[in-house]
Structure 1
């Protein structure tokens, strides 16, 4: 399964995994949580318990949900009943969407993102 992996502090990268539960859990570092914030046939998959883990870094802000993803996540395509390859078009779209690295600084009003542009 072709996916786009987004790690904290890094640019997104294309990868291929076998699509098994084990390979997906290994990619995100824990139990799976699927989020559907996009209008496209795409899903964001992250670690369900990442916000409880103190050793996991904040990754990217999701304005679509008003949330911040913590830890590594990946974007996959949506099939009829399961996740599938992310199309080349959506791969490029989300590579650009998550291209800029984001750092987060704690403030009295919550986390403030600082975008690092190339």
Structure 2
């Protein structure tokens, strides 16, 4: 069976609802969506792959969604099908299943017991992330002032 020129994927960005995209079935297109080198992860026993940035955790990309119970996908990622080692379009059933799984943006907060994920709307996510950034800046400014 020939390789598909374009594929239907589920694209998931931090703080946003997932979206359907039709993309070129090329490495360059994959890399542009995840902002770097890709890694293909097979978390389920299906012919579906999560494609993410290979160094998302090392590069400090923002946390996005949970992968299973104990891992976090960092930065933007997409989900596609797989057949004979090639990425293919998601079926309607697959698209629906993974859109539901990854529908809600997640805010990850530090607690004394570890990181706690909370579902949010895109608006709530933006508010919390802006607040966290502002607090970080205040701490940074205070630390710099104390060093003088």
TM-score (norm 1): 0.91
Indicate the residue corresponding to 2:98 in structure 1: 94
Note the residue ranges of structure 2 that are not aligned, 5 or more in a row.
Answer: 1-6, 123-148
Matches within 5 A, 1:73-88: 73-88=77-92
CA RMSD across the alignment: 1.6
Secondary structure of 1:90's aligned partner: helix
Aligned partners of 2:83, 2:114: CA distance in 1, in Å? 36
Aligned partners of 1:48, 1:78: CA distance in 2, in Å? 18
Secondary structure of 1:100's aligned partner: coil
Matches within 5 A, 1:1-118: 1-54=7-60, 56-63=61-68, 66-116=70-120
Higher strand residue share = 1
Structure exhibiting the larger radius of gyration computed from Cα positions = 2
Note the residue ranges of structure 1 that are not aligned, 5 or more in a row.
Answer: none
Deviation at 1:109, TM superposition (A): 3.5
TM-score (norm 2): 0.73
Secondary structure of 1:86's aligned partner: coil
Structure 1 segments (4+ residues) deviating >4 Å: none
Q: Which sits farther off after the overlay, 106-115 or 12-21? A: 106-115
How many residues are treated as equivalent by the alignment? 116
Identify the structure with bigger relative contact order (alpha carbons < 8 Å, sequence gap 6+): 1
